[in-house]
Amino acid sequence: MRTTLDIDDRVLRQAKRRALETGETLTRFIELAIRSRLAEAQHLPPYRLTLLTKRGEARPGVDWDDRESIYEHMEGRS
């Protein structure tokens, strides 16, 4: 497939130089670079969230429907 891309001049010069050094066409070099970047993204391990849970009991006098009441007990204001 043909396409047009706007590539930074320095990046393009580096790509041309590297393609020449490796004996590849610029097209092949860019295609391999894109494939490499796409494969890299596929091999990222999935993120796993581990929840920290604690056993305990609710403190007496805390109104769990009132956020301010909860903060008061957490901060020792009550």
At 10-67, the pLDDT tens digits run 999 999 999 999 999 999 999 999 999 888 877 777 788 898 888 887 777 788 888 8
pLDDT computed for residue 31 by the predictor:
96
Which residue, among 62, 60, 7, has the nearest Cα to 29 in the 3D structure?
7
The whole-angstrom separation of Cα 61 and Cα 78 is 9
At 65-77, the pLDDT tens digits run 888 888 888 887 7
- The three-state secondary structure class of 54 is coil
The whole-angstrom separation of Cα 40 and Cα 18 is 20
Whether the pTM exceeds 0.85: the reply is no
Cα separations in angstroms, 2 against 5, 32, 41, 67: 10, 16, 24, 60
